[in-house]
A and B are shown apart, each in its own frame.
Chain A
Amino acid sequence: DTEVTQTPKHLVMGMTNKKSLKCEQHMGHRAMYWYKQKAKKPPELMFVYSYEKLSINESVPSRFSPECPNSSLLNLHLHALQPEDSALYLCASSHPSLAGGRSTGELFFGEGSRLTVL
C-alpha cells in the first residue's frame, strides 16, 4: 500500500464552525506533514510530525491545530477560520520507516482536502 488517504475530499465551512481534516498512511512512515496550497502556487509547509512528535510549526495561526494520534494518522483541526484560509490542504508522509533506515527524501502526497471558508 503506497497510498496516503485524506478525508474529506471537499469541505465547506463557516467562520464559526469547527471541523477536522484526516490523513492516514500504512507505509510505516514516521514523518507526516501538512501543506497548504493555493492555486498554481507551490505547497507551503505548515507542520511536520516526526515519530509522532511535532517537529516543525511554520508559524501557523492557532486556528489550525494538528494532532498525530499514532504513527498512521494525522489530523488537522480547524476552528474560526477566515475566507483566506480557503485552499487545498495536502497531507504527506515520508521515510524513515518503522523498520528504521534513512530518509530517502521522497514525499508521498495524499489527494488533498479542498477547503472553502465562507
Chain B
Amino acid sequence: QQPVQSPQAVILREGEDAVINCSSSKALYSVHWYRQKHGEAPVFLMILLKGGEQKGHEKISASFNEKKQQSSLYLTASQLSYSGTYFCGTGGNQAGTALIFGKGTTLSVSS
C-alpha cells in the first residue's frame, strides 16, 4: 500500500523552509527519501531506519517516528536547486520486500 505524502505541492521563495510528510498505514522499518528533477531519474537523499533517528544532507534533514508510522523531510533555507519532486519510499521488515513509493510532493523554489 502506497504511503501518503503531504502536501502534494509546495511553492517557496529562496531562503524559506518547508516540511514534507510521509505516513503509512503499515508498520515501517525504513523510510527512503528521493528527489527527482524534471525529465531525470530519482536520486537518493537519505535513509532512516527504525529507531527514530534524524539524518541530514546539506540543509535537508529528516526524522522517522515508527510509532506514528511517519517520516518528515525538512528543507531549510531552500535554494533554487531544491526544486523537484520528492518521494518517500517505505520498506517492510522482510528482507525480500521492495520499496513502495508515495505519489510525491512537488517543490518549486523561485528567486
Task: Determine if chain A interacts with chain B.
Answer: no
**Which A residues have a C-beta under 8 Å from some C-beta of B?**
none
**Which B residues have a C-beta under 8 Å from some C-beta of A?**
none
